[in-house]
Structure 1
Amino acid sequence: MNPAIPRGRWVILASLVLAGMLVIVPMPDWAVPARPQWVALVLLYWAMALPSRVGVTVAWLAGLFQDALVGSLLGQHALAFALIAWIILKLHRRMRLMPVWQQALTILLLLYAVQLVLFWVNGFVGRPVPPWQAWLAPVIGAALWPWVFFLLRTARRHFGVQ
């Protein structure tokens, strides 16, 4: 292995790509607005677990990746993800000491921040406001946080990502 390439970089990238694939999985029309922000959840985990490797720049790129995947206004997810990455980088020491259920509450607030940024950008450019079900997406994401956390922590430990 080349010592210049940090170990486990492919695990982070693969998890973000897999999260992007979950974003484009077909769902019934009534459930689409409540789809969890998979890329944001994975990004929050990596920014909390490895703040020196996953930061605002990676969040920005992951947001551009999601914008391209879903065909949204280029940069709106990038802006929202960069914001929550910056916040989680400021809180990561505290977050790592919290039990998972308390982390889920913080994740809920951060996912609501993503929704607010997306709504603000869409309103600013004159796009229609999403239906009320879009407010369920952060709740569903926070409910999924324990599984996302344990799955990614297991992958990080298994593959020795540091």
Structure 2
Amino acid sequence: MGYGVILGSFLLAAVLALIPMPQWLLWGRPEWVALVLLYWSIALPHKIGIFAALVIGVMMDVLEGAVLGQNAFSLAVLALLSLLLYQRLRVFSLWQQSGMVFVMIGMHQLASQWVQTLEGTGARTPLFLLPALTSALLWPVVLQVLRGVRRHYRVS
């Protein structure tokens, strides 16, 4: 049951990441998959880690039509950071966690931007970091919703 709930949350995050939006809103789209990965790797570091990030990243590469490995690489970096810091993140206040989410998803965005620049399609403006800000602002909501789901379905 536990893995089904986790998989379901990742599928919902993938759907939210792929919903068509107006061009002016695309720059600020939160990193839904990264937020869900961050939550599960902090809550259940023994179940969700770098391998899960790689698998989910390849899935997102295929769904988005990105260079194979772009999302896998950046999500693996995010998972590694969260696994290194999960004990500290758990004791931080909600706003301190949001600040760390901003930094960690910013690093995820930088890794993804680096691969896009190597490909020749990188952004020419620092607006590519805007999803890190919107993700950090949504972190308290994502945390409460996923925590409620985890407790309701007794995922451990």
TM-score (norm 2): 0.96
Q: Counterparts of 1:97 and 1:30 in 2: how far apart (Å)? A: 37
Contact 1:33 1:131 in 2 (8 A): no
Contact 2:17 2:32 in 1 (8 A): yes
| 2:32 counterpart (22, 33, 38) | 38
Corresponding residue for residue 133 of structure 1: 127
Corresponding residue for residue 44 of structure 2: 50
User: Cα distance 1:157–1:74, how it changes in 2: closer, same or farther (>3 A)?
Assistant: same
Q: Deviations over 1:70-91 (max 9, x none)?
A: 1111111100000110111011
Q: CA deviation at 1:133?
A: 3.3
Q: Counterparts of 1:9 and 1:62 in 2: how far apart (Å)? A: 14
Q: Any unmatched runs of 5+ in structure 1?
A: 1-6
Within the alignment, does 1:63 sit opposite 2:28 as a pair? Answer: no
User: Cα distance 1:49–1:55, how it changes in 2: closer, same or farther (>3 A)?
Assistant: same
Within the alignment, does 1:154 sit opposite 2:144 as a pair? Answer: no
Corresponding residue for residue 96 of structure 1: 90
- Which structure shows the higher helix fraction? 2
Within the alignment, does 1:85 sit opposite 2:79 as a pair? Answer: yes
**Pairwise CA RMSD of aligned residues?**
1.2
Larger radius of gyration: 1
Runs of 4+ in 1 over 6 A off after TM superposition: none
Contact 2:102 2:135 in 1 (8 A): yes
Give secondary structure in 2 for the equivalent of 1:35: coil
Q: Counterparts of 2:72 and 2:94 in 1: how far apart (Å)? A: 26
Q: Counterparts of 1:64 and 1:130 in 2: how far apart (Å)? A: 25
Q: Any unmatched runs of 5+ in structure 2?
A: none
Q: Deviations over 1:105-147 (max 9, x none)?
A: 1110011101111111111122242654322110000000000
Identity %: 40
Aligned residues: 156
TM-score (norm 1): 0.92
Within the alignment, does 1:112 sit opposite 2:110 as a pair? Answer: no
Counterpart amino acid of residue 160 in structure 1: R
Q: CA deviation at 1:60?
A: 0.8
